[in-house]
């Protein structure tokens, strides 16, 4: 029921992606859709996945999108790796790596390195694979990449998981188990079910080599459920083969056959040649142990052809040896020897001592069946020599494993120290940042405070300036009014003088004496009237405040006439205007000015003597 629901959901996802491909109007969206369709088809229809990877590459090149080109090249590398085309795998991975190093994109660089490590591991170059993975750990711990790494924990989990798998094939089972458990522990905290399934499969492989077959089956069945839920057919076929092989060693041939047949069917559908050949070979072993020799030969022959085509020499040796064992079981040792001879030649070529050990042992059984005891003994001795060498090798591996454990612990301590130093530097950086922030805030507050003071000062200055302007305007007005009044006085005096002259003329011409005297008295009265002058003095004091007091304080002997003259001189009036206002002649004005200066000079001299 669960599998049917999951498949229905996947079908909906596929329909959605295909609709997006048809309706996409933007290159960026179309590129993402191509990548999603590639990932969808990769493990259930590889040919379609290849087509979408090529579309992805073409579109990225058209867009001049470096990240897109690098991703498409990586996708092509993964496809060729799954198809066991290792030269093409290396070519596309290395091209992809160049792009991600230049950008840089550490997340995708880690993925490419991981792929290269898998490639080296598949080719038996375990040391090279481990070096690549160690470089991935360094990239993960590089502080400058922190902001660029989106999946740091996932990358570490995958690195530990693959390292566990590699140490397994190096014979360092303890280190393999430790690394695989590290990876699985991290993955269990992440929502990455497929990655968790991969780690479970690798852990199952370690338990298998430790001959914990039931535990191996348990881990693989948990992984199988996840692969089926996500329609991951490629790895489903791998796990089915592993479960079937574990049942074979438990002598449960019925269960072994069931799982191995499912593995063959799926691998054939996926065109996963390596898995298909391995599952067929394992089926041949089950048939042989069950007494179905013809079926065993047929399965092993199919497996042999597949492995010869793919070029996996270790798998070819395995198929040849199993065919020889089947012919021994059938009572045809001469036929078996032909296969053992071919297996031995290939084992010597690639230098695999474990294969040599098995080949010599099984061929000695063939010679024994032929009653050729001398050659049987010779092969048995070769078997023992190989076994002793392997024993010594295993001892060396154990020593190497202990050394690796020590070095690993040392590196982990160094990494822990490095991380603590990084944490300390980050703390210092945070404190520096806080210090700078506080300084900036303090400085900003000071600026705001000064700005406030300046604003208040500016307002006050503007107010004072406005008040000054108003006072100046009022003062100018008063000055103009004062001058106008002074001129009015002068004009009035001139008019009155003119009238007086005319009246005197009329008097001489015959007017009555009494009448004319009356007019003259009135005019004289107006000329001598102090009212106008008092009004003038008030206006003068408004414009030139305390003028009279200041003059009197400096010159105590000054007279009222002197003050009048000094006031008019202060206004910068002409001598003619002053004479008119004071109703005296120009000559009198000159004399008055002279007398006034002389009086000031004498008073100033007497003060200086004192």
Res 292: pLDDT: 94
Give the number of C-alpha atoms closer than 13 A to the C-alpha of residue 597, restricted to the C-beta side.
6
User: Domain-by-domain residue ranges, the chain?
Assistant: 493-609
Average pLDDT, the chain: 82
Confidence band of 430 (pLDDT split at 50, 70, 90): confident
Q: What is d(CA 430, CA 344) in angstroms, rounded to the nearest whole number?
A: 66
* Region 222-238 average pLDDT: 93
Residues 6+ apart with CB under 8 A from 357: 383, 386, 387, 390
Confidence band of 433 (pLDDT split at 50, 70, 90): confident
Confidence band of 3 (pLDDT split at 50, 70, 90): very low
Does residue 8 carry a pLDDT above 50? no
- pLDDT digits 0-9 by tens, 440-486: 777 777 777 777 677 777 777 777 777 777 776 666 656 656 665 66
Q: What percent of the chain has pLDDT over 70?
A: 78
Does residue 54 carry a pLDDT above 90? yes
Res 14: pLDDT: 84
Residues 6+ apart with CB under 8 A from 411: none
Provide the 10 A C-beta neighbour count for residue 421. 11
- pLDDT digits 0-9 by tens, 239-271: 999 999 999 999 999 999 999 999 999 999 988
Q: What is d(CA 359, CA 341) in angstroms, rounded to the nearest whole number?
A: 8
For CA atoms 112, 118, 119, 124, the dihedral sign is positive
Q: What is the pTM of this model?
A: 0.54
């Amino acid at each position: 029921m669960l599998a049917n629901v999951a498949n229905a959901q996947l079908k909906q996802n596929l329909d959605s992606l295909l609709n997006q491909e048809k309706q996409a109007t933007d290159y960026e969206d179309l590129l993402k859709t191509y990548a999603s369709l590639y990932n969808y088809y990769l493990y259930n229809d590889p040919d379609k996945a290849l087509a979408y990877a090529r579309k992805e590459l073409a579109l990225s090149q058209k867009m001049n999108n470096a990240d897109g080109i690098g991703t498409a090249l990586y996708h092509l590398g993964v496809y060729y790796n799954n198809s066991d085309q290792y030269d093409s795998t290396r070519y596309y991975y290395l091209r992809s790596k160049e792009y991600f190093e230049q950008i840089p994109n550490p997340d995708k660089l880690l993925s490419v390195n991981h792929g290269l490590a898998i490639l080296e591991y598949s080719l038996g170059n375990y040391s090279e694979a481990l070096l690549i993975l160690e470089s991935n750990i360094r990239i993960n711990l590089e502080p400058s990449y922190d902001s660029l790494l989106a999946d740091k924990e996932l990358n570490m989990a995958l690195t530990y998981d693959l390292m566990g798998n590699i140490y397994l094939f190096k014979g360092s089972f303890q280190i393999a188990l430790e690394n695989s458990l590290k990876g699985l522990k991290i993955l269990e905290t992440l929502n990455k079910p497929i990655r968790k399934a991969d780690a479970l499969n690798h852990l199952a492989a370690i338990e298998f080599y430790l001959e914990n077959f039931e535990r191996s089956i348990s881990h693989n069945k948990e992984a199988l459920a996840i692969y089926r839920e996500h329609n991951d057919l490629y790895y489903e076929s791998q796990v089915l083969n592993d479960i079937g092989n574990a049942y074979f060693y438990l002598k449960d041939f019925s269960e072994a056959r069931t799982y191995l047949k499912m593995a063959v069917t799926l691998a054939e559908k996926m065109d996963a040649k390596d898995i298909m050949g391995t599952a067929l070979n394992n089926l041949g072993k089950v048939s042989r142990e069950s007494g179905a020799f013809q079926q065993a030969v047929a399965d092993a022959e199919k497996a042999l052809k597949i492995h010869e085509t793919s070029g996996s020499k270790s798998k070819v040796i395995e198929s040849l040896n199993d065919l020889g064992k089947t012919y021994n079981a059938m009572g045809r040792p001469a036929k078996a020897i032909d296969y053992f001879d071919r297996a031995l030649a290939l084992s010597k070529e690639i230098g695999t001592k474990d294969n040599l050990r098995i080949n010599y042992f099984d061929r000695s059984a063939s010679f024994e069946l032929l009653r050729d005891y001398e050659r049987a003994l010779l092969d048995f001795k070769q078997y023992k020599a190989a076994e002793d060498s392997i024993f010594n090798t295993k001892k060396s591996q154990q020593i190497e494993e202990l050394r690796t454990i020590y070095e690993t612990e040392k590196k982990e301590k160094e990494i822990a120290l490095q991380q603590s130093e990084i944490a300390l530097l980050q703390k210092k950086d945070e404190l520096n940042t806080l210090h700078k922030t506080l300084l900036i805030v303090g400085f900003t507050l000071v600026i705001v405070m000064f700005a406030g003071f300046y604003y208040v000062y500016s307002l006050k200055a503007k107010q004072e300036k406005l008040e000054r302007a108003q006072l100046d305007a009022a003062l100018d007005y008063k000055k103009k009014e004062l001058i106008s009044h002074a001129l009015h006085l002068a004009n009035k005096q001139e008019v009155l003088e003119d009238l007086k002259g005319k009246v005197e003329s009329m008097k001489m011409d015959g007017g009555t004496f009494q009448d004319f005297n009356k007019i003259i008295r009135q005019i004289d009265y107006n000329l001598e009237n102090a009212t106008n002058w008092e009004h003038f003095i008030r206006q003068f004091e408004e414009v030139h405040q305390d003028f009279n007091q200041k003059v009197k304080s400096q010159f105590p002997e000054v007279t009222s006439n002197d003050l009048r003259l000094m006031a008019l001189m202060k206004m910068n009036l002409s001598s003619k205007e002053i004479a008119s206002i004071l109703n005296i002649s120009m000559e009198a004005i000159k004399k008055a000015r002279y007398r006034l200066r002389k009086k000031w000079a004498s008073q100033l001299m007497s003060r200086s003597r004192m």
